[in-house]
Amino acid sequence: MEILEYYNKSSFINEVSHLICEISEKCISDDGIFRLVLAGGETPISIYKQLKSIETDWSKWVFYFSDERCDSGNSEHLNFTMAANALLSHIPIQANQVYKIDTFLGAIEAANRYNEILKNVVSFDLVLLGLGEDGHTASLFPGNYLGEDVSAANSIAVFNSPKQPPERVSLSLRRINSSDRIVFLVSGDSKKQIIENLKKGDDLPASKVKGRIFTKMFFLTENQ
């Protein structure tokens, strides 16, 4: 994993946005489609807001999600709601270009439905991920089932998340690692220690992530 450290928020946003645009142009040119997996959390919001103003053929973009909370009583906390507010509701796309995880169905049924969707997707072009202070990514937490074996489903139900809410749906590690490119978006001094642990090779969910073409981590060391 390549770790790129930034001290300026504008540079962080610009570099990540530029990389996403560059990858999207290549994928659209080569294959006529760009399959992007969106991350949740706070850090990606500024990236998504910047992306909405780029010049691109939005009809070629297809959006997926790395994970989602089972919190149907409070939809404002969903990753989909955040992405919709920051990006998806501001760009000219159709409903069939966005594949959200319907966690109002419950973790098991939502994971099953997402598996049905993803079985027709050979590979994601780019997966955006976050990083927790415990080394988790998406909703793959230390000590939990990660879905890393070759027979693992594309998405898995999570029932014991140490962060609220406890029930979630996440892409499995196997599915994440079948993607072409992976970019971690990380910010805040509270993440410095876990990044040091990753550099040392500690056995953590995030340290097991590896894209087929590249894996990069963009780290903004201070929130500006």
Q: Give me the CATH number covering residue 12.
A: 3.40.50.1360
Q: How many CB atoms lie within 10 A of CB 53?
A: 9
Q: Please give the pLDDT value at position 72.
A: 64
Measure the CA–CA gap between 110 and 100, rounded to whole angstroms: 10
The model's pTM is 0.96
Residue 12 structural domain: 2-220
> Number of structural domains, the chain?
1
Helix (H) or strand (E) run with residue 170 in it: strand 168-171
Helix (H) or strand (E) run with residue 84 in it: helix 79-86
Q: With cut-offs at 50, 70 and 90, classify the pLDDT of residue 224.
A: very low
Tokens standing for 47? Answer: 């990236």
- Please identify which residue in the block is written with the tokens 């501001």: 90
First and final C-alpha spacing in the chain:
25
Residue 119 to residues 27, 69, 122, 183: CA-CA distances in angstroms? 20, 22, 7, 23
The stretch 200-212 carries a mean pLDDT of 96
Measure the CA–CA gap between 22 and 37, rounded to whole angstroms: 16
The stretch 177-189 carries a mean pLDDT of 97
Residues of the chain with pLDDT > 70, as a percent, come to 98
Task: Tell me the backbone φ, ψ of residue 167, rounded to 5 degrees.
Answer: -95, 130
Residue 59 has pLDDT above 90, yes or no: yes
Measure the CA–CA gap between 37 and 179, rounded to whole angstroms: 10
pLDDT tens digit string along 101-156?
999 999 999 999 999 999 999 999 999 999 999 999 999 999 999 999 999 999 99
Q: With cut-offs at 50, 70 and 90, classify the pLDDT of residue 61.
A: very high
Q: Is 117 in contact with 110 (CB distance < 8 Å)?
A: no
Measure the CA–CA gap between 204 and 102, rounded to whole angstroms: 28
pLDDT tens digit string along 11-52?
999 999 999 999 999 999 999 999 999 999 999 999 999 999
Mean of the per-residue pLDDT values for the chain?
95
Residues of the chain with pLDDT > 90, as a percent, come to 92
Q: With cut-offs at 50, 70 and 90, classify the pLDDT of residue 77.
A: confident
Tokens standing for 106? Answer: 């419950």
What residue ranges in 48-159 does DSSP mark as E strands? 61-65, 67-69, 126-129, 155-158
